[in-house]
Structure 1
Amino acid sequence: MCRASYDGRIVFVLCLLLSFLLPTVSSVMVAATKPEPYSKINGPSIDKLVARHIPSEARQVEALTDDEIDLIGEGITPDLVAELQETENINVSTTPQNGYVCLSINTEKYPFNYTGFRRALAFAIDKNAIAEDIWGGYANTLDSCVPAANPYSVEGKLNFSYYDADIDYGNKLLNETGFLDVDGDGYREAPNGDNFDVVVWSSDHFIKSEPVKNQLEVAFEALHIDALITQGWYYDYLERLYWHGDYDMAILSRQFNTMYVDWLGYNFWSELRDYRGYNLANFQNETFDFWADKLLHTPDYDAVYEAAQCLQQIWTYQCPEIVLYQKSVISAYRTDRFDGFVNDVHTGVPSWWTYYRSHPKLANGGPFGGTFRTTYDMEIPSFNFMTLVDDYPVEAMLSVMYDSLLKQGPNGVEMGWMAKSYNMETHDDNPAVPNGFTRVTFELYNNLTWTDGSPITAEDIAFSINYYRDTSGGPYGPDFWNMTQAVEMTTYKVRFQFNIESIWHLGSIGYKPIIPKHIFVEIGLNGWNTWNPKPSENEMVTSGPFNVSTYVPSEMIEFDANDHYFRILQRISGDSLDPSFLGLTFEELALVVGVLSGLVVTTTAVYWLRKDD
């Protein structure tokens, strides 16, 4: 009995120490790989996270090479890669962006309402050439509107592809659809015999978009279509598309922060083609609408997955939009002080997970402590996260301060975070749930704690979601229009109920920042957008792994590790190492260190552990 316990403790310590020794991001220019499961991750390991305000990318690179920072806080441009690859102690990593640049087509406008016309253009555009020439070659081809890394994506599963230009087939489609050069002027007329031209709006908003412009011009010319690609201010023509004003085609950028695909139903549903911000292509398709309804109003994962697959097949064939390219996020960081860098599928290495998992190398006194240094390039207008929902870089920087019930791991896989478990039910699962309703119940960990030391309970969770629903004009309100109940069941169990059936209610609740009731009852519903905390004057009460301790506008933000964090690791390092914490004597700990020191000692230790077997 004692020997079994002893061996188990040694193996546990070996695993613990090895978890810090094994690097998370490999060598130069590695692509994101599937990480190990994150269901039992603890942290943070660093003492402080310091972000310096450095707007200039050139200055950010200088700070990295001069060892003033450990990580550039956002992706870098490709022209900097070669220089950084040649610099000692610096790694450059890439991961495909969770988004893309696409060509939106006004499918309601004649003659662009012909599917054959849109498909002909898709076949004529050389996506491979764009990917090779744009973004320094750090771009990818993509056909589906759902990026390939998303588990719902059909990328690579269809029986056709638009990657390579097929001019002959594009012209064949136009001929069959009735787009002919009737008057012999070198340009095709519409099927009704009228002349037509195409105006494509583009913008300098898309960095180095010349390859896109060139390939579009080549495609239109090869198809004998009179077209003009004109530059405009991105947000001017985007606003026109949002309000469903007149346009032919426009180049847009789409970015996603999660792997959820409920937007696939909303963004192209016929019923929403007159709503601001939805269905910019004015797309109408009865079969698409059928599957969109299934996607949005089905609580069963398998049925939702089938709907997502069918919607993408229709979308890719019908071409209300044509994906032009998918950029890669390029990240740069130092390797001499810290380990634990995580190449997140959404943001690359500058990620919540990197800040959470980074730790000093053992040679630098690790695996705990130290100050991790990064950057941000935009001013922080406020520490009120509810006013920053559309300001993603700043919102991401401050995300280390607030936790949510669920979290997406670095590979995009959903996991419980503050929630120990959850259960989703409909009337078919539980007769107590009203017919047509969805009930979601979360059980919380019982050691959740605010940074002021007070416990986080189900009362805080219910209060947070009710607060978001009831604020007038608040950013999260639309997610809860169908919510009929948010109540504390027990100290660590909370229940939500919606008056429609949908699997997406889980994410609507699960990814919202949880706020402290004992603070926000004073702020009130009307104060959601006027609340303007000053962390340098009054300590904020938050729930995440870090809390802001110092803020100097236009200079820096300093975050301290949250000592009350429910997943925080017991600190053991350097002179304070106490083997009794691990349940080991000094002799037993010495054996562990010996195992890690070399193969010979490892072999000896394994033999010793097994000699009584």
Structure 2
Amino acid sequence: MGRRTSALLVIFIAALLVLSFSMVPFGSASEWQIPKMDQIYMKIIESDDAAYLAHKTGELDHLEVTAWSQVVELNELGFNVTGTPGFHMCYIGINCRDEIPPTPPGYSPTPGRPPGMSLKPLNNSAFRRALHYMWGIEGKAEAITAIFGGPIATAIQSFIPPAQVAWYNPDVREYPKSYEAAYNELISAGFYIQDGAWHNPDGTPIREIEIITPAGAVTQPMGDYLKAAYDGFLEWSNAPNTPKMKHVPSDWTTVVIPRVIYKNDVDLFWLCYSTGRFPLALYSFFHSSNIGPGMGNYFGYKNLTKMNFPEYGFYNVNLDELLEIFRWRTLDIDEAIRAAKAAQYVLSEDCPKLPVYSRTYFHSFGRWDTELNRPRQFDGLINSYGYGTGHYAGWTWDHIMWAEGDTPPGQPPYSFNWRIARPPGTLNPLYATTVYEWQILSQVVSGLTYLDPYTHIDGPYIASHWTVEYYSAPPRIPAGMAITFYLNPDIYWHDGEPFTSEDVKFNLEYLIKYQIPRYKPAWEKIVHVETYGPYKVKIFVNATSLWTFFDISGAAALIPPQIYKDVTTPATFNPDQTPHPLGKTYLDPYTGTTFTLSCLIGTGSYVFREWNAALGYARIIRRTDDYSFRNKGPVLGYITADQYVNKATIGVWNQDYKGRSCEVKVYVNDDLKKQLTVSLNPFQAIRNFTTVEW
């Protein structure tokens, strides 16, 4: 067995509070308390106009604004409006399969779309390129201006958002709006017009093509614009007998999600997604191994043609290999970037989707008070590049509070009122996929680490520190990694059970056993998991990837073993509707009453209270138990450095600690190297950087 240790090690910092403080009584508020709000009340409001009115009249405290006129008006009314470029994009997806696949268990075939139905001409890349030319970048920009009324979104041709600057490839193929270019693409690929109708190269007439979009003020008009561009091309090319495009606005939960993600029986479809800080969706969306019901490659797309990319340093590789280099085969960030850019070039040529726009995230905060004739204000907003202030990663949700002197009458208890634009389809964290579901779940479940909103660096949370080593154990692991997490000893599930290394092991092995599609990148390369006492766990991985650490840390605390050990059919399990098997109760800080927990529990800073489908609202409540170091003041920081150097930069995790100080001890391989004091400022997550030499 061969083994070598990486030069990159994580150095543990023990930060002890200099100023003494008293332990806060159970359930009471304090300056250390995170979160500040007693509940987040989430109302389902599907109409954008209705949501805007609800925000202006004080029913909603926050609104993600998608109309420029509303941004302007809310700002003039005194709401706190923030904006930042988003890790976000919307697109028209194209089903690139030859035919509709078999209907998966639990679903019924869509009427008129039986398994085995031919999907021609969408399986032809020339037709997809022609479709892109029919609408073109100018057509997208025209639609954006008409729908948003201002600089809310930017028309794009790339396959990742421009906000991901380092990864973004501006040199992909351009698609100006040109019916002539579309015509030439089709003719050169063997398509032809006969008897006033376009025909496929095999002589069959081009059939009716259908696009489904979620019904809504933004999504539905986008489908209309593409239909108009396609129908206009048929008229321009003198092919009136070709069926016009069929646009079917559809319900998000009952139609769009099942047909796009599970049944894969659509032609064209509209989806949006947030990419996060890394463009990992390139692999999830377009690697051929991810084709299948519930898998990320909804497009059914694969390209195994060998190509050369001298400008990026790759020769005789296909798209799958480029994506594997990016996702699994390198620890060199520059090589990963080059592979991602080469992959974007291939995708721009093949067009498995039509990128439409990337949006700037505008968020408005405040509660309108009729008597004051102005909105009451909030403090504690954290605006993160690419994510914004309203993102459900938890930064703002943990720290938002009423501005001094602006608390509404009747509070406390404190409530923050939030909009969800669509009902959740499932609240099972193993299968939830939409932003609407994760707006509820993201505060209930958590990962092992905490993402800093300003630096986008991972800091301690459930894990206090960690190491990543090269590891080799042929033949099972010819070249891999061993990731070791050291856990904080005072982390608990919402039902009071301690979180230990066995919980990490259970989560990862459960994902492997049931091959949960959403978390495939986290489990597919794991060889085995070992625990060393209750607070140390090591995961052995058959890959050398920049991203494996993030995949695993984000998936290692999803489900509580005390509940899921008896769940053998996870796909049909509804934890939010199932009472806790031991009848565990919890204090609701908003109502002051106790209630029986459901099986939807996690380790996050909020506890799931209820989802009422009939009345269209969900509630999550502040944790009222003394559950982790986050309610005890600043106790941990972290540092990453090379073991052969004697200088590094530390960042102390210090959100909302109002000018206190902490004592920092720097250890390298258990050897105390330095002791210093760091001053902490409010709302500055890992922002007090200090250079340490030893």
Give TM-score, length-normalised by structure 1.
0.70
The 5 Å alignment of 1:288-299 reads 288-299=319-330
Superposed CA offset, 1:284-332 (max 9, x none): 3322133133234314243333222211111012223222334555533
- TM-superposed CA distance for 1:492, in Å, is 3.5
Question: 1 or 2, which has the higher helix percentage?
Answer: 1
Equivalence map 1:545-556=2 (5 Å): 545-548=605-608, 554=615
Instruction: Return the letter of the residue paired with 1:55.
Output: I
Give the gaps of 5 or more residues in structure 2.
Answer: 1-17, 20-31, 99-118, 306-317, 367-374, 581-585, 587-593, 635-656, 663-678, 680-694
Question: CA 1:132–1:539 in structure 2 vs 1: closer, same or farther (change >3 Å)?
Answer: same
Q: Are 1:378 and 1:394, in contact at CA under 8 Å, matched by a contact in 2?
A: no
Q: Which letter does structure 2 place at the counterpart of 1:290?
A: E
Q: Does the Cα contact within 8 Å between 2:39 and 2:622 map onto a contact in 1?
A: yes
The one-letter code of the counterpart of 2:163 is: A
2:630 corresponds to 1:567: yes
Q: Show structure 1 runs of 5+ residues with no match.
A: 1-11, 14-41, 572-577, 584-591, 593-613
Whole-angstrom CA distance in 1 between matches of 2:291 and 2:620: 45
Distance 1:381 1:396, change over 3 A: closer
1:461 aligns with 2:510: no
Residue 341 in 1 paired to residue 332 in 2? no
Cα displacement (A) at 1:356: 1.5
Alignment of 1:349-368 (within 5 A): 349-351=390-392, 352-364=394-406
For residues 396 and 208 of structure 1, what CA distance do their matches in structure 2 show?
25
Distance 2:459 2:659 in 1: 31
Amino acid in the other structure paired with 2:448:
L
CA distance in 2, matches of 1:389, 1:530: 11
The change in CA–CA distance for 1:388 and 1:557 in structure 2 (over 3 A counts) is farther
Alignment partner, residue 26 of structure 2: none
Alpha-carbon spacing, 1:496–1:221, altered in 2? closer, same or farther (3 Å): farther
Judged with a 3 Å threshold, the aligned counterparts in structure 2 of structure 1 residues 175 and 417 are, in CA distance, closer, same or farther, namely same
Aligned residue number for residue 40 of structure 2? 50
Structure 1 equivalent of residue 220 of structure 2: 207
Q: How does 1:371-386 map to 2 (within 5 A)?
A: 371-377=414-420, 385-386=428-429
Q: Which amino acid aligns with 2:245?
A: I
Question: Aligned equivalents of 2:488 and 2:156: distance in 1?
Answer: 41
Q: Does 1:252 align with 2:243?
A: no
What is the CA distance between 1:502 and its match in structure 2? 4.3
Which residue of structure 2 aligns with residue 64 of structure 1? 55
Mapped contact 1:68–1:373 kept (Cα < 8 A): no
CA–CA distance in structure 1, aligned partners of residues 558 and 225 of structure 2: 46
Partner residue in 1 for 2:466: 422
What is the distance in 2 between the residues matched to 1:404 and 1:322?
33
Return the match for 2:248 from 232, 236, 239: 232
Superposed CA deviations along residues 447-500 of structure 1, whole A, max 9, x for unmatched, are 545557775443333333334444687975784254332222354332112345
Please name the residue that 1:143 is paired with: 157
Structure with the higher fraction of residues in strand conformation: 2
Matching of residues 514-593 of structure 1 within 5 Å: 514=557, 519-520=562-563, 524-526=566-568, 529=573, 531=575, 532-533=578-579, 536-538=594-596, 542-548=602-608, 554=615, 557=619, 559-562=621-624, 563-568=626-631, 570=633
Are 2:350 and 1:318 aligned?
Answer: yes
For the 8 Å contact 1:405–1:416, the answer to whether it is kept is no
| Amino acid of the structure 2 residue aligned with 1:297 | W
Q: Deviations over 1:183-237 (max 9, x none)?
A: 6x77666567x47436331235233233333234345545666462102365768
- Map 1:446-457 onto structure 2 (within 5 A): 447-450=490-493, 456-457=499-500
User: Structure 1 vs Structure 2: percent identity of aligned residues?
Assistant: 16
Superposition deviation, residue 559 in structure 1? 1.3
Q: Which of 108, 132, 154 is the aligned partner of 1:122? A: 132
Q: Of residues 495, 514, 539 in structure 2, which corresponds to 1:496?
A: 539
The reply on whether 1:284 has 2:303 as its aligned counterpart is yes
Local SS of the residue matching 2:347:
helix
Note if contact 2:81-2:362 (Cα within 8 Å) is conserved in structure 1.
Answer: no
Q: Distance in 2 between matches of 1:273 and 1:514?
A: 26
- Specify the SS of the correspondent of 2:357: strand
CA deviations over 1:523-570 (Å, ceiling 9, x no partner): 634486365247652357642223356888846625125543322365
**Cα distance between partner residues in 2 of 1:261 and 1:229:** 32
| In 2: Cα distance, 1:236 partner to 1:378 partner | 16
Contact 2:282–2:323 (8 Å) recurs in 1? yes
CA distance in structure 2 between the partners assigned to 1:473 and 1:113 by the alignment: 28
Give the superposition deviation at 1:100. 1.0
Q: Is the 8 A contact 1:459 1:488 kept in 2?
A: yes
Going from structure 1 to structure 2, the CA distance change for 1:347 and 1:511 (only over 3 Å counts) comes to farther
Q: CA, structure 1 residues 280+238, in 2 after alignment: closer, same or farther (shift >3 Å)?
A: farther
The question of whether the paired residues in 2 share the 8 Å contact of 1:45 and 1:369 is answered with no
Distance 1:202 1:489, change over 3 A: same
Q: Which amino acid aligns with 2:606?
A: F
Counterparts of 2:201 and 2:429, CA distance in 1: 51
Given the superposition, is the C-alpha separation of residues 407 and 133 from structure 1 closer, same or farther in structure 2, using an over 3 Å criterion?
farther
From the superposition, tell whether residues 68 and 481 of structure 1 become closer, same or farther in structure 2 (CA, over 3 Å): same
Deviation at 1:501, TM superposition (A): 4.8
8 Å contact 1:436–1:500 — kept in the other structure?
A: yes
Q: What secondary structure sits across from 1:154 in the alignment?
A: coil
> Compared with structure 1, are the counterparts of its residues 508 and 168 closer, same or farther at alpha carbon in structure 2 (3 Å cutoff)?
same
- Alignment-derived partner of residue 27 in structure 1: none
Please give the secondary structure, in 2, of the residue aligned with 1:306: helix
Cα deviation, 1:130-155, whole Å, max 9, x if unaligned, reads 32223444332111222222356434
Name 1:484's counterpart in structure 2.
Answer: 527
Separation in structure 2 between the aligned mates of residue 191 and residue 322 of structure 1, nearest angstrom: 23
Contact 2:212/2:256 (<8 A) preserved:
no
Whole-Å separation in 2 of the counterparts to 1:581 and 1:297? 42
With over 3 angstroms needed to count, the CA separation of the structure-2 counterparts of 1:86 and 1:186, relative to structure 1, is farther
Contact 2:521 2:551 in 1 (8 A): no
Which shifted more, 451-460 or 99-108?
451-460
**TM-score of the superposition, structure 2-length normalised?**
0.63
SS of the counterpart of 1:511? helix
Check whether the contact 1:386–1:475 (CA below 8 A) recurs between aligned residues: no
Q: Distance in 2 between matches of 1:289 and 1:310?
A: 11
AA aligned opposite 1:228: K
- In the alignment, residue 595 of structure 2 is paired with which amino acid? E
Deviation at 1:379, TM superposition (A): 9.5
**Cα contact 2:481–2:541 (8 A) shared by 1:** yes
CA contact (8 A) 2:83 2:360 kept: no
> SS in structure 2 opposite 1:148?
coil
DSSP-derived class of the 2:244 partner: strand
Q: Give the 5 Å matches for 1:39-118.
A: 44=34, 46-53=36-43, 55=45, 57=47, 60-72=51-63, 80-81=70-71, 83-89=73-79, 91=81, 93=83, 95-96=85-86, 98-104=88-94, 106=96, 108=98, 115-118=125-128
Match of 1:413, SS state, is coil
Conservation of the 8 A alpha-carbon contact between 1:258 and 1:412: no
- Amino acid corresponding to residue 355 of structure 1 in structure 2: W
The verdict on how the C-alpha distance between 1:328 and 1:513 changes in structure 2, with shifts beyond 3 A counting, is farther
3-state DSSP class of the match of 1:424?
strand
Q: Residues of 2 paired with 1:242 and 1:47: CA distance?
A: 35
In 2, the alpha carbon distance for the partners of 1:244 and 1:525 equals 25
- Partners of 1:579 and 1:81 lie apart in 2 by 32
Q: Aligned pair in 2 of structure 1 residues 473, 544: CA closer, same or farther (>3 Å)?
A: closer
1:558–1:172 Cα change, 3 Å: closer
CA distance in 2: counterparts of 1:51 and 1:452, whole angstroms: 22
